[in-house]
């Protein structure tokens, strides 16, 4: 009996290969073209070939997203046609045998074409790649790509089993692949604006959306190193030579490994569903009636979020778009019902009851969010429970972990709450005289909590922002400068010091000038007048110039092997004084005057 079962499975498996081989051939062709394109692009640069080959795993993520869907629909597609479904299931094979045969065929549709590409790549690696162990690269590529496929195929098979038709499967697959981002959109666009200062970051949501996250991570980081090899030649003499070895570092194998495992679990869940599936559901949108309510709710929420996000994206407001949520829910509810019932005759009393319940539940959730029973809006951390805090102003972050500094940021947080300037808006507009600041707390219990506020630039909050925004590490951190001494060294080592991209002078290149400049910049940092945020500096330079030619800052750059730069604002009095003494300021002014005169 066992051998009979094997024979039947083999027959079903071979039948899948016979029927759908063009799909695999198409996939193979796409990869061949891509490999040829990569080889063509890189010319004879073996290093770049390696980079591109490994980099194509990311593209493979998108390929696999669609390819797994196509393959799953092909091998399990008989479930969606009543005749084929009945015909095949009258044959002497258990469902798990059909399932195993189809899954094996489905996996082979990835393993085989990619194995062919490995062979092709090995030829190209042999021709192009300068690395002694370059032959491993195609294997890394093969493993990475197939681990991805395992996940997407598992997900696609699960959707195949839950759906009753191809359209239903497509819809489910689309939803489960994007549900976490849709959820993020819903939370971020609908709920978060109701709580002043609240922020949710997309990181976790992205992690839960492999189709998206795969695009943003680097699976492998190939690096070129040189290794000394020592050996005895045929004359017994010791010979030492340098060889190129390719190493793969920083790979995120853990993530794709977990994905592959999840794919296997999903495949197991799909088999569980298959065993419970009633074959008479072939052609229905969903194969399990119990899923219909869930689908309708999720579909309605997607439509509501879509309507709302679309409106707020183009028309730039949030609050006025809230009524659209109700409209989206209505549209989604009935559109979902139409898909489920495959008819437009869905406007029945029973369906309206469900819709009213959904809208009621949604409105209640918005009401509860606004009531904020957990006091999320007014929450202030206790300094003892904060490991570190990060202040971001004008795109520059400043991390602090000393209690005194953390207290300052908590104070800023409190000011933000008290001043309660209009919350962050997607248009980026803020009230005049306010400055945007983001505070992120890294709590000792592992949580990361972020808040965003606009604070009065002339108030206490503005002072804190100036103080922290003007710290050396905040102003020059992006250039690797975090201490006063490092800044002095950088100024001393600079090839030239340039103002406003082009203005310099002999006087500006002397050691004495550099010493004075370093002292002046550090003094301004200490005074809190060098913060990079434009909003913290209201005065303009060169008051006697026509209004449109008055700059709010001058760009001071330290040219050389290690570049660094800062904006010199009107309140950087010490720095301006040094620049003026060196004649640089006058030159800049003259240049700007000439521009003003045309």
Task: Write out the residues near other proteins by the rule CB under 8 A.
Answer: 1, 4-5, 7-8, 10-11, 14-15, 18-19, 83-84, 86-95, 97, 278-280
Minimum distance of other proteins from residue 98's CB (angstroms): 11
Residue 306 corresponds to which tokens in the numbers above?
């879509």
d(CA 319, CA 334): 25
The residue written with tokens 């998206």 in the block is 212
Q: What is the DSSP letter of 151?
A: H
Minimum distance of other proteins from residue 173's CB (angstroms): 23
The smaller minimum CB distance to other proteins, of residues 293 and 364, is found at 293
Of 376, 371, 379, 407, residue with least CA distance to 391: 407
Greatest CA span in the chain, whole angstroms?
99
Find the helix or strand (DSSP H, E) in which 410 lies.
helix 403-419
Minimum distance of other proteins from residue 262's CB (angstroms): 28
Minimum distance of other proteins from residue 95's CB (angstroms): 7
Minimum distance of other proteins from residue 270's CB (angstroms): 17
The smaller minimum CB distance to other proteins, of residues 15 and 557, is found at 15
Rg (CA), the chain: 32
Residues 165 and 284 sit within 8 Å (Cβ to Cβ): yes
d(CA 279, CA 256): 34
**What residues pair up with 246 in beta bridges, in sequence order?**
224
d(CA 202, CA 436): 20
Minimum distance of other proteins from residue 88's CB (angstroms): 8
The smaller minimum CB distance to other proteins, of residues 4 and 221, is found at 4
Minimum distance of other proteins from residue 24's CB (angstroms): 16
Residue 373 corresponds to which tokens in the numbers above?
């029973």
Minimum distance of other proteins from residue 79's CB (angstroms): 12
d(CA 344, CA 205): 35
The smaller minimum CB distance to other proteins, of residues 3 and 594, is found at 3
Residue 9 corresponds to which tokens in the numbers above?
């499975």
d(CA 53, CA 118): 10
Find the helix or strand (DSSP H, E) in which 246 lies.
strand 238-249
The smaller minimum CB distance to other proteins, of residues 281 and 537, is found at 281
The smaller minimum CB distance to other proteins, of residues 6 and 353, is found at 6
Minimum distance of other proteins from residue 4's CB (angstroms): 6
The smaller minimum CB distance to other proteins, of residues 86 and 132, is found at 86
Minimum distance of other proteins from residue 9's CB (angstroms): 9
The smaller minimum CB distance to other proteins, of residues 94 and 385, is found at 94
Residues 531 and 394 sit within 8 Å (Cβ to Cβ): yes
d(CA 529, CA 391): 17
Q: How far are the Cα atoms of 9, 21, 220, 475 from residue 253, in angstroms, in the given order?
A: 33, 30, 8, 36
Strand 564-569 and strand 553-559: the pairing is: antiparallel
> Dihedral of the CA atoms 206, 208, 209, 214 (nearest 10)?
70
Minimum distance of other proteins from residue 69's CB (angstroms): 20
d(CA 206, CA 156): 19
The smaller minimum CB distance to other proteins, of residues 1 and 371, is found at 1
Residues 13 and 104 sit within 8 Å (Cβ to Cβ): yes
The smaller minimum CB distance to other proteins, of residues 91 and 218, is found at 91
The smaller minimum CB distance to other proteins, of residues 82 and 397, is found at 82
The smaller minimum CB distance to other proteins, of residues 19 and 463, is found at 19
Minimum distance of other proteins from residue 138's CB (angstroms): 34
The residue written with tokens 């760009």 in the block is 555
DSSP-based helix, strand, coil % in the chain, nearest 5: 65, 15, 25
Find the helix or strand (DSSP H, E) in which 60 lies.
helix 46-75
> Number of helices and strands (H, E) in the chain?
19, 9
Which 3 state secondary structure label does DSSP give 389? Answer: strand
Minimum distance of other proteins from residue 15's CB (angstroms): 6
Of 134, 597, 171, 192, residue with least CA distance to 369: 192
Minimum distance of other proteins from residue 83's CB (angstroms): 4
**What residues pair up with 396 in beta bridges, in sequence order?**
393
d(CA 60, CA 72): 17
């Amino acid at each position: 009996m066992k051998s009979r079962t094997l024979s039947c499975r083999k027959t079903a498996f071979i039948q899948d290969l016979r029927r759908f081989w063009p799909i695999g051939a198409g996939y193979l062709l796409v990869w061949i073209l891509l490999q040829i394109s990569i080889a063509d692009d890189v010319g004879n640069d073996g290093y770049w070939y390696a980079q591109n080959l490994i980099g194509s795993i990311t593209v493979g993520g998108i390929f696999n997203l669609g390819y797994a869907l196509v393959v799953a629909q092909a091998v399990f597609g008989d479930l969606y046609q009543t005749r084929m479904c009945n015909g095949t299931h009258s044959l002497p094979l258990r469902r798990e045998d059909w399932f195993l045969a189809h899954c094996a065929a489905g996996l082979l549709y990835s393993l085989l074409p990619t194995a062919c590409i490995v062979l092709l790549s090995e030829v190209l690696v042999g021709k192009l790649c300068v690395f002694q162990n370059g032959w491993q690269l195609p294997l890394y590529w093969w493993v990475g790509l197939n681990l991805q496929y395992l996940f997407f195929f598992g997900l696609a098979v699960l959707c195949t089993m839950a759906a009753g038709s191809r359209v239903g499967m497509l819809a489910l697959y689309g939803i489960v692949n994007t549900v976490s981002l849709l959820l993020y959109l819903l939370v971020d666009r609908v709920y978060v604006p109701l709580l002043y200062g609240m922020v949710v970051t997309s990181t976790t949501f992205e992690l839960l959306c492999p189709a998206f996250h795969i695009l943003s991570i680097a699976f492998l980081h190939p690096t070129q190193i040189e290794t000394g090899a020592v050996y005895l030649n045929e004359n017994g003499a010791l010979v030492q030579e340098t060889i190129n070895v390719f190493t793969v570092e920083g790979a995120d194998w853990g993530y794709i490994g977990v994905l592959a495992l999840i794919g296997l679990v999903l495949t197991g869940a799909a088999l569980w569903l298959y065993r419970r599936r009633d074959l008479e559901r072939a052609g229905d949108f969903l194969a399990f009636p119990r899923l219909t309510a869930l689908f309708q709710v999720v579909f309605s929420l997607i439509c509501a979020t879509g309507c709302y996000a679309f409106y707020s994206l183009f028309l730039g407001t949030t609050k006025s778009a809230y009524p659209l949520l109700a409209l989206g829910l209505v549209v989604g509810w009935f559109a979902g019902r139409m898909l489920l019932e495959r008819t437009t005759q869905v406007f029945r009393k029973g369906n309206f009851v469900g819709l009213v319940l959904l809208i009621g539940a949604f409105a209640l959730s918005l009401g509860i969010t606004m009531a904020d029973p957990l006091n999320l809006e007014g929450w202030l951390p206790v300094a003892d429970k904060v490991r570190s805090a990060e202040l971001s102003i004008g795109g520059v972050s400043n991390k602090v972990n000393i209690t005194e500094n953390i207290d300052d940021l908590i104070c800023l947080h409190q000011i933000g709450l008290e001043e309660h300037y209009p919350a962050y808006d997607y248009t980026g507009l803020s009230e005049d005289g306010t400055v945007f600041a983001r505070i992120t707390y890294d709590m000792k219990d592992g949580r990361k909590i972020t808040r965003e506020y606009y604070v009065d630039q002339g108030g206490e909050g503005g002072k804190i922002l100036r103080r922290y925004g003007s710290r050396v590490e905040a102003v020059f951190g992006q250039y690797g400068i975090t201490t006063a001494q490092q800044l002095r060294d950088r100024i001393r080592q600079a090839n030239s010091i340039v103002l406003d991209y082009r203005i310099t002078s002999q006087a500006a290149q002397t050691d004495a000038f550099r010493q004075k400049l370093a002292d002046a910049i550090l003094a301004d940092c200490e005074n809190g007048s060098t913060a990079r945020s434009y909003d913290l500096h209201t005065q303009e330079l060169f008051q006697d110039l026509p209004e449109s030619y008055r700059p709010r800052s001058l760009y001071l750059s330290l040219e050389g092997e290690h570049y660094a730069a800062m904006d010199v604002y009107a309140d950087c009095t010490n720095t301006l004084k040094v620049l003026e003494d060196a004649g640089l300021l006058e030159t800049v002014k003259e240049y700007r005057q000439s521009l003003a005169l045309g």
